[in-house]
Chain A
Amino acid sequence: MLTILFDGVAYGMLLFIIAVGLAITLGLMNFINLAHGAFAMAGGYITVVLMNRYGVSFYLCLPIAFLVVAALGALLEGTLYRRLYSAPHLDQVLFSVGLVFMSVAAVHYLMGGQQQLIHLPPELNGRTEIFGIGVGRYRLFITAVCAVLVVALQLVLAKTRFGSQLRAAVDDGRVARGLGINVSAVFALTFAFGSGLAGLGGAMGAEILGLDPNFPLKFMVYFLIVVTVGGTSSMTGPFLAALLLGIADVAGKYYFPQIGAFVIYGVMVIMLVLRPHGLFSREGAR
């Protein structure tokens, strides 16, 4: 029972890690970036190549994946994404789906279509007994990283100068500009940061979710579920939504395996019908 709860939490954390970058670009910048999974995939492949071809340590790969993908994000933001901030949502969907298609085919061309596997350092393999519950070490690691991320993100957004600048820029770009905030720089930085997080999530998720060129299409639905159910106005919303979905999914599949596949979609539709603006949103109470 407790093992299932822990597995659910760990799965939720994993969902959160790969979706948090999207929570930032979609939630804060209001850009429907379906190509989020492509950034995550980039992070995953960077890790695979570094580890399997060059023998770089897994721990080192994670920050590298973050930085490289963040740089990639910044590059794309400057050249392409920037033009579409004010475009209709439909254009954003179309544009990012186009990017997804391109990334899928490009990765297939460069790396081949097969599943890529990584080898974790031995201390992350296997299980540990904590208070009599068997928990996977890697899952524990994910949970820990995720907890750190949530706290850090919340602090950055709520307490730092950058956080207030960002919130101001999102709420009313023109006024923010008038106050001397360099809105486009703030957006570029945020977008790069969100992409970097996606890369980190891809790198960490590859072990459990697997990695092949279809990654962005396969998991797009999951990122979107977390972000929409969580609502898009804070970090806590997606975090709690990820936890809820993770636990519901794992417990549902454990106790009622016959309907396992429906649980996560069912929870999503019910949540959205009950609270169309997400779990914790400013409009949610209406």
Chain B
Amino acid sequence: MSDDEVAPEGATPTSHEPPERDITDGGPDMVQFLAADGTRLEVTPQTEPYAAYLEDLDEDDLRGLLRDLILVRRVDAEGFALQRQGELGLWPSLLGQEAAQVGAGRAMRPQDYAFPGYREHGVAWCKGVPPENLLGMFRGVNHGGWDSNDNNFHLYTIVIGNQMLHAVGYAMGVDRDGAVGTGDPERDTAVMAFTGDGGTAQGDFNESLVFAAVTGAPVVFYVQNNHWAISEPNDRQFTIPPYRRADGFGFPGIRVDGNDVLASYAVSRHALDRARNGQGPTLIEAFTYRMGAHTTSDDPSKYRISAEVDAWKAKDPIDRMTAYLKGGGVVDDAWLERTQEEADELAARIRRACQTMPDPPHEEMFAHVYAEPHRLVEREARAFADYQADFED
């Protein structure tokens, strides 16, 4: 528009911008069982295939899910605090994503293998990884302080999307091992691959979908769409939501309310069963929100408005499940108080573990570079030891 073509005052500006939409609205395809206020929603033909999995849950299971949510949030808060106090170099918070992770984590069986990114503290919890083991890499004492095979929870992967392919390859191995479709619930195995909305732009993510599609590997892709890839919103990552992308690769994609632990759980169970039964991959998009910063090094006030955060706060996963279970008489204030105490004790344990975590001896740098003896590493390790010994004299 040139200077002399000023629009008349008060005129409605013409715009090709899409109408402002509510980013907390997951749309009609989203599977949801609990409304934001904790009301249990009617089962619809769309949610019916998943609802069956909720019938398996008794009151202990339901309380267990809420306990997981509360404990995981407390673990996360402790990680954040430890960073602020200088005990950790970095902490990527999962605040807001507890239900997405606990739902998926509790849907997995012990033999199912998880390939996380680096924010999956809630999945780690469900798979039985002691939370203090997650701290080592953020404290700088190791690059991953747990044996993946202890809990079938792989090490955190920091390069976005790399792990999606590892999950598919692992699943191809599971298939070759005959651990798919036998009907034996102890044997049939699925693999779950975790990434975020930002991860869906990666080549490795898309290649993993291709490989899974053509091999029919028993893998579930679990995309937590927390709406922010550091400072970039969804519209910088895709124009079609992640769950719809699965269709183009030739397998089902489901959007689930990631702030509804029941929905996340049921949809994950469904997809994992398909994989274990030999029916191939599924892509789940858990529609959720990163309530905190990307990591402790980030400042979200630079790129997003607080009204958006407030809108998502009204959809908080823990408030929602608490309201539901309190309303149904499954938990009461005394239970909640006890669980909060348990969470505080867990946090204190993690804090102690972090503060007493020893620095590794420097010679350890040279260990485990190779699985077999290696001339150069051995030579340098000896030279390093000699050099260090000079200072001790």
Tell me whether A and B are bound partners.
no
